[in-house]
């Protein structure tokens, strides 16, 4: 049995640019701080992890709960407003690839995103990506990327031993897969990896990397 897990931004949806803009704008609106959007500099590259680090760096821990609530609310609002004007677009072939995997008896699917669940659902719905019956883990569950991935795995597999493959677009995805012993497949060209597809038009290659 194969468990195939997906990131969202830059993997299933072409959303990295507007997601970053909406996040940094939300932080600025709430606490007036210009965020360094080079995510590779952060210890935990998740919405919650990045925000925690910003709060710690600027000694705002006494207001942490309120800041987290307000930034998340503002960010989700920003995402919604953006999508009303410019709907999200799938990474080419993503919808078709997911549907083919759904049809396979020896495959279970999950989604593990560093984003908050509410914004993830907005983007997926906007892009027309059906995630019905696909377990999702997000920054709502934890701020460690590896913890989020393990939660998604548990929800998809009920803890049964299984082959895990993760599709992601960042160096942090590759690092997390290395720590967890997951088979990693890079989508796009934001990092370097031997198993790489530009998009999901390369279905034959993607299936071979999974081992199907």
Q: Give tens-digit pLDDT for 140-156.
A: 999 999 999 999 999 99
Q: How far is CA 12 from the centre of its chain?
A: 9
Contacts 24+ apart (CB under 8 A), 200-203: 200/91, 200/92, 200/93, 200/94, 200/96, 200/97, 201/92, 201/93, 202/93, 203/93, 203/96, 203/97, 203/100
How confident is residue 71, by pLDDT bands cut at 50, 70 and 90? very high
How confident is residue 160, by pLDDT bands cut at 50, 70 and 90? confident
In this model, does residue 161 exceed pLDDT 80? no
pLDDT at 163: 93
CA 18/CA 145 separation, integer angstroms: 21
Cross-strand partners of 187: 197
pLDDT above 90 as % of the chain = 95
pLDDT at 29: 96
DSSP 105: T
pLDDT at 173: 96
Which residue do the tokens 């959303």 mark? Answer: 15
What is the mean predicted confidence (pLDDT) over 8-29? 95
Instruction: Provide the mean pLDDT of the chain.
Output: 95
pLDDT at 159: 83
Whether pTM exceeds 0.75 = yes
In this model, does residue 116 exceed pLDDT 90? yes
pLDDT at 13: 96
Residues near 185 by beta carbon (within 8 Å), at least 6 away in sequence: 165, 166, 167, 168, 193, 195, 196, 197, 206, 209, 210
């Amino acid at each position: 049995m194969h468990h195939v897990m997906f990131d969202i931004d830059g993997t299933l949806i072409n959303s990295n640019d507007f997601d970053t803009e909406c996040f940094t704008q939300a932080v600025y609106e709430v606490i007036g701080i210009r965020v360094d959007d080079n995510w590779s500099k952060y210890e935990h590259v998740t919405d919650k992890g990045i925000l925690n680090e910003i709060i710690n760096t600027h000694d705002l821990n006494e207001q942490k709960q309120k800041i987290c609530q307000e930034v998340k609310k503002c960010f989700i609002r920003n995402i919604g407003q953006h999508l009303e004007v410019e709907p999200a677009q799938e990474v080419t072939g993503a919808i078709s690839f997911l549907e083919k995997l759904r049809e396979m008896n020896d495959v279970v699917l999950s989604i593990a995103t560093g984003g908050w669940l509410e914004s993830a659902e907005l983007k997926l719905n906007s892009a027309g990506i059906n995630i019905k019956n696909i377990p999702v883990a997000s920054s709502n569950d934890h701020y460690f990327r590896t913890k989020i991935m393990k939660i998604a795995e548990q929800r998809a597999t009920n803890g049964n031993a299984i082959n895990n493959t993760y599709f992601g677009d960042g160096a942090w995805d590759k690092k997390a897969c290395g720590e967890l012993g997951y088979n990693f497949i890079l989508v796009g060209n934001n990092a370097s990896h031997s198993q790489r597809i530009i998009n999901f038009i390369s279905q034959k290659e993607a299936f071979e990397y999974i081992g199907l």
